Chains A and B, each alone.
Chain A
């Protein structure tokens, strides 16, 4: 079963994203800060991470860069979808430079996010 890790300090967003991705048949884990998210990604080795940028303890960019630098190839190659309120052109650039696979700006469309998550996973991993 496809496993998605959602890391967001806003419980309403985290639970909405988890609900929508869960409806597509994925197993979803949720963490509420960057440090816990990074630890969970290393331990659980999810197939994809949905990652907020501005979070306590460790921000999403730091988590993303740490994931890309991880010695475990399954962790370093995990697709990361940044879901953030930072919408400036330079923010998007920084997100991709840090290693994001895709970038979604808040306020967001849950339908669009689900489509992007599906596209970032191998074909057939989720059933929209």
Chain B
């Protein structure tokens, strides 16, 4: 055996030994991790019924809640997983539990952390914990340099349920560091009907056109009848941006009822903005009273190609009467018949008919 072969043999043995050692270390670490996960799982399983019991109103619930204050750290994850699914008194009770365990204080300190992910996580936690004392800190994060943190702060403000956040959320739509309208809208919806006065105020005295449009949308989703005169004024006001008037038209379709039909009819017939005319047509279809159906049917039959399809769709969704009027056009040749046939086939059956059939 040459010296070279011997050296190669030794090197192979050393390498094999090193690989075996490494594999052994990996196996040990894997087993250790498995044991740790199993231990955490057992802990969660033990704590879960205690958390559920703590949600009861009775003495047992109060005792369980008090006993959880000194429970292991696994409890925090368990509660944080559960919190976003809950609302009402149970959510508030779990939020108080997290506050007493110091979780909320630690998260509040993390709001000024250097890493954006830590700020965002802290904001989400504080939103779930629904601690009204953190509204100002979360509001400040709406202008954070990181977009994800701004969104996390907006969502957290919605979940925290403090109505004082409504104004800052609406103003966050128009900053250079803005929050997307979808995120702000969801947060304002999460805050519920207590924000209705703020939304009405944002329609009459808007911080920005984006805030005015979103406020109109949300008033419609809430079905706020009190906002009806404001929305009628927006639709009719040609000085307003088209997006605002579109939102107002859509909202009127939800809350206006027959009282909104003349204003929507005017928007459908007299404006030059296609998006507004489509929104008005859709809203008229949603209202679906006789006057609205007459207006839509006349527009379908008329020579206005720009909104014929939208009006036909609206008629198809406006109940049996709307579909009957549309069916009368379906036999026509040319674009009127085409629009009627397409709308009828796209909307196989109106909603009210389905409801009646199921009942």
List residues of A whose CB falls within 8 A of some B CB.
10, 12-13, 15-16, 19-20, 23, 90, 93, 96-99, 106-112
Contacts and interface: CB of A to CB of B under 8 A. Distances in A.
A107 B88 CA distance: 9
B351 A112 contact: no
Contacts of B48: 15
B274 interface: no
Contacts of B358: 96-99
Contact of A107 (B49, B81, B91): B91
A23 B91 CA distance: 19
A19 B82 CA distance: 14
A93 B85 contact: no
Nearest to B88: A109
A12 B55 CA distance: 14
Contact of B88 (A20, A93, A111): A111
Contacts of A19: 49, 52-53
Nearest to B254: A89
Contact of A111 (B82, B85, B90, B351): B90
B50 to A, nearest CB: 11
Given A97-B354, A97-B355, A99-B358, A109 B82 contact: no
Contacts of B84: 107
A107 B89 contact: no
Interface of B: 48-49, 52-53, 55-57, 81-82, 84-91, 351, 354-355, 358
9 contacts: A12-B81, A13-B85, A20-B52, A93-B351, A97-B354, A107-B85, A109-B86, A109-B90, A110-B86
Contacts of B82: 12, 16
Nearest to B90: A110
B355 A107 contact: no
A97 B358 CA distance: 6
Contacts of A99: 358
A23 B56 CA distance: 10
B202 to A, nearest CB: 22
Nearest to B84: A107
A109 B351 contact: no
Contacts of A111: 57, 88-90
A109 B85 contact: no
A111 B84 CA distance: 16
The 10 nearest A-B residue pairs measured at CB: A109-B88, A107-B87, A19-B52, A97-B358, A110-B90, A109-B87, A107-B85, A107-B86, A97-B354, A12-B81
A32 to B, nearest CB: 16
A112 B55 CA distance: 12
